Every structure is written in structure tokens, then in C-alpha cells.
Structure 1
Amino acid sequence: MKIKLNQLDILLEVAAQGSIGKAAKALHLTQPAISKTIQEMEAEIGMPILQRSSRGVTLNEYGQVLLRHARDIDRSLHQARDEIDNLLGKAMRQLRVGFTSAASYGPFTNTLIQFQARYPGVKLIVMEGRPQQIHDALENQRLDIAVITTANHTSQNSMYYESLYALSNTVIAGNQHPVTHTTSLKNLMDYPWLDWDEPGEHSILGQVFRRYNLPLPQNIIHCSSPWIMARMMEQTHAVSMWTSVRLRFPGYSPNLRPLVLREVLPASSIGILCPNIARLSTAGNTFMEMLRINTRDWLQDSDALEMVVRV
């Protein structure tokens, strides 16, 4: 039989969930994609493997045989991963973590400090970048796990994504900016704008202007450094869109201020991204669990309540 490993992963999840819909949600796939995979496996073995009822789906006798061997294969792959991790020194010896600057405020930095204190023998490699740079590094196996900012609350290319919290966005300007009253995006289009990413699906600025059927401003400077952005806004009439945490970073707030807009800006989600949660190393799983706990505690603080959007 020519059955692929990703098909066996889907079979295991369908069996565990007893529902194609729940399996699709757990795997971040669509229900048609799950159904198609089941049909491909049924075509390969020449027999149906599912029984459908009003309560969900169960595996029939043919499906149970396939499931038993799928579990054996899954256990073998996990053992192989552990052995390879040990050979490469990554099981609990090295962890490569990526992050976006907005995600670094609050629970993320606290988790790094606690992880290093608890596991001093683990070599931590931490890299900051823009979301697409982090995504590419995960795809190319230069990173194990990342905490990133995203505007659409989803991941790409079937990576595992887990949302932690969402931050409000606001338009920021220098204290000397001529606009001091409630305004609109349309009234700000003639000013220079500073954007984190070049125009495209990853640009939060582009998404916001499309949302309100407005063309992009003519004068946009693309810069991934918040420090340089802040200095430019202090000395010019440039404006930029920042998440609510950025003015909390040391050195930014004295000379910058938020502008009051009529439009409602979308929130940015902060979440965990990794290529495959089932293949994450022991160090990665440990870091993720510590981050979940720290996030839960941080969300109870008054500091977080002022910035976090309830979605």
C-alpha cells in the first residue's frame, strides 16, 4: 500500500476525535481536505474504513487494522525523533526561538528568563525578525518555535498555530505632529507613513487601508526597526501603526503619542508558531508550556488589561 505519513496522521486524529470536523479543526485543515484524504486511503486499500452516524464517525474493522499499524508507525517515528534529537544534541540541549518585537513584551521575555534559569544546560538561540522572516526560518529548520505577531490570526502552509492573546493597534505620531484632534485615515494620507513590511498580504498597513477601501499613501518608508521609526517620528511629521505594547518599551513614550481615529483598527494576534506540534522537541514543548502559564498569569495583570483586546 502506498499510504503517506500525513494520511496516517489524519487517520489517527479522526479516530481520536470521532468527528471529521473536530479533526479538521485540530489539524488546522478543512473538512473537505480530511474527507479527501480518507477517500484516498479507502481507494488505496480497496475498502471503506469509516462508519458514519449522527453522532460522528468510527473506524470499521478495516479501519481498525489500519489504525493499529498507524499507531505503531507513529510510536516508531517518535522514537526515531528522540534518538535523532539525542544525536544532534537538541532534545534538551538546544532550543532556537524566533520572535517579533511586539511579541517580546510581557510573558515571552519572562519565559526566556525562567527557562534559562531552570534549564541552564540548554543552549538558547533567540532571533528577532518580521513575521515572514520568522516563518521562512521555521520552514527552513533554522528555528524550532516562534512567538509572532499576525493580523489574520492564522498560520500558513499547515504550520501549527496557537493564539495566546490579541493586542490593539493605534496610529502613532511625534508630539510635534500638527494633528491634535480626532481624525481619519483619509486625512492622514498626505503625511509620510512608516510601515513594518513592504506592501503585500503581510503588511498590516496594507490590510487596514484595504479594509476601508482606501489607496495606500504615496509616501511610505518601510522599516523594521522601532527605534529608527521612533526617531523619525520625533523629528518629522511621519506617522506609523503600532501595537499597544510599543509605547511601553523604554525610551519610546516621552516623545511619541497615539492619534485618535474615527476608524476601528483590527487587533494583532500574538501566538505560537511551529512547523509540527507532534514533532516538537522536548525543549520546545517545555518552553511552550511555560509560555502558556506565564501568559495566563500576565493576562490577569492590570498592565495587560490596558492593552489586550478580548476576542
Structure 2
Amino acid sequence: MDSRIKFRHLQTFIEVARQKSVGRAADVLAITQPAVTRTIRELEEALGVDLFEKEGRGIRISRFGEVFLRHAGESVAAVQRGVDSISLARKSLGPPLRIGALPTASATFLPEAVHAFLMAETGSPVTIVSGENRGLLDALRLGDLDLVVGRLAAPERMTGLHFEPLYSEEVCFVVRADHPLTARPHFSLTELAQYTVLIPPAGAVIRPLVDRFLLTNGIADLPQTIETVSDSFARAFLDRFDAVWIISRGVASPDIAAGRLARLDVDTSETRGAVGLTTRADRESSLALSIMITTIRDHVRSAVDRF
């Protein structure tokens, strides 16, 4: 769009075209006739065409004006819809926002992003739902969720959905800070068989990555495992017992930084995968959802840098 064309140019042009009179348009707009005439001339100079023609003692819109009127009307209507949306949001009439969150998002950037969203006073209440990736994506597809925040799912699970990557992370092996394995500079992964190992369940998005990693390193089976998506249970279990937790790095990072957990020296770079935002491909984002997505983008970089 030509930077010389302002919203007031469109409003004035539309009103003159509607009234077929500069004087009547000036009355409606509550400005002087010279101001209307000047605004129309500025618009015509920017476009390089005459938008109105003399007709007797009055004026009529030109053929160029007819073409421009359609687009100008659409533009002003779009702006008005935006203004109305903001007005509704400020009156606490925004639609509810339902977010499915995987642990890696819940433990890192999502709390701060949701807090910042609430401070924006959109008027939309927020619901956070946790669970396995499969169930969250099904709920998104059915319209029970507006957004899923977490890892990119397998291609067959992404039909009808759109994924926006934010960053990538890998899984890691974590234990209690004073776990026996932390006292040793080197150990073999086969020693995992001596401990209870907490792993993601079959429906978790990172489970195939974990299985492939273990098989690649010659571990076909672990004698004692607990499948869980509950990070609160995993933290409590590790606090009481000499267990090993295989989980996305972001989930454990706050505990590692606080010294409650320790990351074992295991190269898991082959498990690296994208973390981001999943939405329905066939649904236009509401104002609240658009603001939430923008807020999450703004908070991701600083949070990711911390872990």
C-alpha cells in the first residue's frame, strides 16, 4: 500500500461516494468542505487518477473510483471488524481459549506466556489441558482444543493440522542429584537394568525416539520400567528411589538448574525433535488465539536460552 494513503483518505472517499456530494460528506464526517476536498485531492495524487467527475452542479464517481471503492470499502470494513473484536475483548467477552500442553512446554515457556496473555486483558479465559500427545491432537481435531503446544507428532498424526516449529530439543536421562551414577565419570547404558526406569508411555510423542535410541545402543529390554506422563509423579519417585527418568530436556531443565536433579552424561542428540504450536489447518485463528500465539513466540527464545 502507498504510504501516503491513510485511513482518513479511505473514510472520506467512501463518504463522498456514498453522499455524491462534498458538502453532505463534510456534514457526516463533521469536518469542513475544504478539508474534504483537500483529502480527496491527496488521495487522487497518490493514486494518479481522478476518483470523481463533475456532473452538472454535482459530482459522480469515475470508473477508476468505482474500482477503488470496492477495495476501499473492504479495507475499512476489515479495520472496523478488528476494532469491534478489540472492544469485545476489553469488555471480557472474548471466547475461551483451550490449550493442550505437553510437559516440555508446561515446564518451560508456557507459564510465563500465559501470564503475559492474561495481562493483555483480552477477556478470554484460559484452560490448560495436559495428557498424551495422541489424545491432545484428537481433541484439537474435534474442536475441543484451540492449540496444542509441544513436540511435532508423526506425519500420520498431523492430517488436517498445521505445525509451527519454535525450537528443537532432545530427550535426556536424569536422576536424583545424589544418585549413585552421578558419582561415576563414566558408565555403560547397560547398567540401566539395575534401576527402575521411568519412560514415556506408548502414546507419548517421544516414545518412538526413546525406543529407537535404546535399541541403537543395544538395549532391547529393561526389566523394571514405569510408563508415565506425570512429571510430578516422576519427580517424587526420583526423590525417594534410585531411579532413572528418560524425558524431554525441557521438562527436567528447571529441576536440573535448581540442583534437585542431575543429567547423566549420555549423548542423546539423535533424539532431537521440533517443539512448536499445532493448530487446525482449516480454522482461522480468533483474536485471542492470535494474541496467545504471538505471546508464546515472544517468550520462547528467553526460556529456551535458559535450558
TM range (shorter): 0.5 to 0.7
Please point out which of 277, 282, 285 is paired with 1:280.
Answer: 285
For residue 187 of structure 2, what is the aligned residue in structure 1? 183
Say whether 1:171 aligns with 2:176. no
Q: Is the 8 A contact 1:164 1:270 kept in 2?
A: yes
Larger Rg: 2
Percent of paired sites with the same residue = 17
SS at match of 2:274: strand
Contact 1:155-1:161 at 8 Å conserved across structures: no
Counterpart AA for 2:148: A
Question: Aligned equivalents of 1:133 and 1:154: distance in 2?
Answer: 14
Distance 1:254 1:294 in 2: 24
Q: Which residue of 1 aligns with 2:130?
A: 128
In the alignment, is the contact (CA less than 8 A) between 1:96 and 1:144 conserved in 2? yes
Q: CA RMSD in A?
A: 3.5
Flag the 1:91–1:157 CA change in 2: closer, same or farther, 3 A: farther
Change (3 A) 1:234 1:150: farther
2:168 aligned counterpart, secondary structure:
strand
Q: 1:106: how far off?
A: 4.0
**Paired position in structure 2 for 1:139:** 141
Give the CA deviation at 1:288.
1.3
Q: Secondary structure at the match of 1:147?
A: strand
* Deviation at residue 111 of structure 1 after TM alignment: 2.0
Contact 2:162–2:278, Cα closer than 8 Å, also in 1? yes
Structure 2 counterpart SS, 1:239: strand
Is the contact made by 2:174 and 2:244 (CA closer than 8 Å) also made in structure 1? yes
Decide whether the 8 Å contact of 1:91 with 1:281 is kept in 2.
Answer: no
**In the TM superposition, what is the alpha-carbon distance from 1:146 to its structure 2 partner?**
1.4
8 A contact 2:133–2:205 mirrored in 1: no
Whole-angstrom distance in 2 between the partners of 1:113 and 1:306: 18
Which residue type is aligned with residue 182 of structure 1?
H
- Per the alignment, in what secondary structure is the counterpart of residue 228 of structure 1? helix
How far, CA to CA, are the matches of 1:223 and 1:144 in structure 2? 25
Contact 1:132 1:202 in 2 (8 A): no
**Does the residue aligned with 1:214 lie in a helix, a strand or coil?**
coil
Structure 1: gaps (5+ residues) = 1-78, 80-85
1:42-64 Cα offsets, whole Å, 9 max, x none, are: xxxxxxxxxxxxxxxxxxxxxxx
Secondary structure of residue in 2 paired with 1:245: helix
Normalised by the size of structure 2, how large is the TM-score?
Answer: 0.60
Q: Return the match for 1:243 from 232, 244, 248.
A: 248
Query: What is the aligned partner in structure 2 of residue 256 from structure 1?
Result: 261
1:39-98 deviation line (CA, Å, top 9, x unaligned): xxxxxxxxxxxxxxxxxxxxxxxxxxxxxxxxxxxxxxxx9xxxxxx9xxx993221111
| d(CA) in 2 for partners of 1:214, 1:275 | 38
Count residues with an aligned counterpart: 218
